[in-house]
Structure 1
């Protein structure tokens, strides 16, 4: 039996979660929300995490109904992510590991999403679409690593949606992507937009620039904000479905798992489900409790690492803004 506590703070979500042998004991979170039209910057985001982390820690321990002595390992997000927020949370995790005299493990953020998705949905060996504000990857498991078989060559799909929300001055509460999704449900006119798939890779900067330059004129021409959101979603999600379908066929897989913050989007799930049914495959996805950045995914992935014998020296418990999914040897998984 392993009880792990996980600290996540790679972007604007601060999360602390506790797991006990795959059972979620607590999953507490705070989100740094900026005014409409503004994104979140590293310094202010890190300040938000510092100001809230002790309160969230107390909340997580209270909700889990455990004592510090019960915890076996402290886990934190090593990367990828924004430097200042990552560091602000890692400092707390390192300090607590020393105060509590517990082992410390740095967890890959992307691996955290994947392992949480597998735990919650029960997917065994899926082709994975990982879509968030900072990452867009199509992933398959092979030879003890999660291999990236396709990815964005410029910006992530979540970043594309967030930046378009700023153009329309949409609220950042609860998230810009969620507000785009709600408007898109009311869209009726599909605008033809640039579509960029290059082999297994996708590009979103062109479609974003196209929309940035034409949004105001399109609104003057009689298109609504709902139409613009609908059209953008349909195009970027179609790119993701195309590359996912190609990976599914190449890997001869019968399962697709969507993880990451954008994975909550009901339209993305609907489009992926249509593709899966056409290929006699099954779709697995989670809701906002587990697809949006959270501490419990770091705790669970860290617990898996810990149980498989992974240990980290103090010198290795650092952070890195660039930490590839395929850089991690999955000691807890075999072919």
Structure 2
């Protein structure tokens, strides 16, 4: 039996989660929300995390009805992510690990998403589409690693959506991507946009620049903000489905798992499901409790690492903004 606590704060979500042998005991989360038209900066995000982390930690322990003595391993997000928020949360994780005299493990954020997705959906060996504000990767497992088959060559899909939301001054509450999704449902007219797939990789910066330069003129021509959101979503999601399908065929896989914050988008799930049905494959996805950054995904991945014998020296309990998914040896998975 392993009880793990996980600290996540790589971007604007701050979460602390506790898991016991695959059963979620608690998973509270708070989000740093900025005014419409603005993004979140590392310094202000770190300040938000500093203000809230102790209350979120207390809430996690109270909901789980356990104390620090019951914890077997303290896990935190080592990276990738924004430097200042990562460091802020890691300091708290190191402090409680020392206070409780428990081992500590740094977890790869992307691996946290994948392992949580596999736990919740019971997907066995899926081709993974990982889509969030900071990451866009198509991943498949092979020989003790999660291998990256394709990825964005510039900005992440979530970053593209977030920045377009700023152009239209769309609210960041609860998230710009969610509000774009709601507007897109009312869109009537499709506007042809640049479609940028390069082999297995995708590019979103050109589409974003195209939209930024033309939004005001398109609105004057009679297109609505809903039409713009609809067109952007349809185009970038089609790119993701195309590259995921290619990886699915290459790996001879019968499962697709969507993880990461953008993975909550029902239109993306709908488009991916159509592709899966055509190929006789199954789509797996989670809801906003687990696809959006949360603490328990870090706890679960850390527990899997701990159970398989992975240990970390104190001097290694640092953070890194760049931490590739394929750098991690997946000691807990059987080939």
TM-score range (shorter-chain normalised) is: over 0.9
Q: Determine the C-alpha separation between the residues in 2 that align with 1:88 and 1:274.
A: 42
SS at match of 1:11: coil
Structure 2 unaligned spans of 5+: none
Runs of 4+ in structure 1 deviating by more than 2 angstroms, as ranges, are: none
- Number of the residue aligned with 1:104: 104
Q: Determine the C-alpha separation between the residues in 2 that align with 1:63 and 1:231.
A: 42
- Number of the residue aligned with 2:6: 6
How do 1:175-186 and structure 2 match up within 5 A? 175-186=175-186
**Post-superposition offset of 1:110:** 0.1
- Number of the residue aligned with 2:58: 58
**Post-superposition offset of 1:334:** 1.8
**Post-superposition offset of 1:277:** 0.1
- Number of the residue aligned with 2:329: 329
2:98 counterpart of 1:81: no
TM-score (norm 2): 1.00
SS at match of 2:27: strand
Structure 1 unaligned spans of 5+: none
- Number of the residue aligned with 1:236: 236
- Number of the residue aligned with 1:260: 260
Q: Determine the C-alpha separation between the residues in 2 that align with 1:60 and 1:314.
A: 24
2:248 counterpart of 1:248: yes
**Post-superposition offset of 1:67:** 1.6
**Post-superposition offset of 1:68:** 1.3
- Number of the residue aligned with 2:136: 136
2:30 counterpart of 1:33: no
Q: Determine the C-alpha separation between the residues in 1 that align with 2:8 and 2:233.
A: 28
The CA RMSD measured in Å over matched residues stands at 0.3
**Post-superposition offset of 1:315:** 1.1
- Number of the residue aligned with 2:270: 270
* Residues 16-45 of structure 1: per-residue CA shift (max 9 Å, x gap): 000000000001000000000000000000
Q: Determine the C-alpha separation between the residues in 1 that align with 2:315 and 2:224.
A: 54
Q: Determine the C-alpha separation between the residues in 2 that align with 1:189 and 1:67.
A: 55
- Number of the residue aligned with 1:94: 94
Q: Determine the C-alpha separation between the residues in 2 that align with 1:120 and 1:315.
A: 33
**Which of 4-13 and 64-73 deviates more?**
64-73
Q: Determine the C-alpha separation between the residues in 1 that align with 2:32 and 2:156.
A: 20
How do 1:174-253 and structure 2 match up within 5 A? 174-253=174-253
* Residues 298-325 of structure 1: per-residue CA shift (max 9 Å, x gap): 0000000000000000111100000000
Q: Determine the C-alpha separation between the residues in 2 that align with 1:148 and 1:20.
A: 30
- Number of the residue aligned with 1:47: 47
- Number of the residue aligned with 2:290: 290
* Residues 281-307 of structure 1: per-residue CA shift (max 9 Å, x gap): 000000000000000000000000000
Q: Determine the C-alpha separation between the residues in 2 that align with 1:238 and 1:57.
A: 40
TM-score (norm 1): 1.00
Q: Determine the C-alpha separation between the residues in 2 that align with 1:247 and 1:315.
A: 38
* Residues 35-90 of structure 1: per-residue CA shift (max 9 Å, x gap): 00000000000000000000000000000011211100000000000000000000
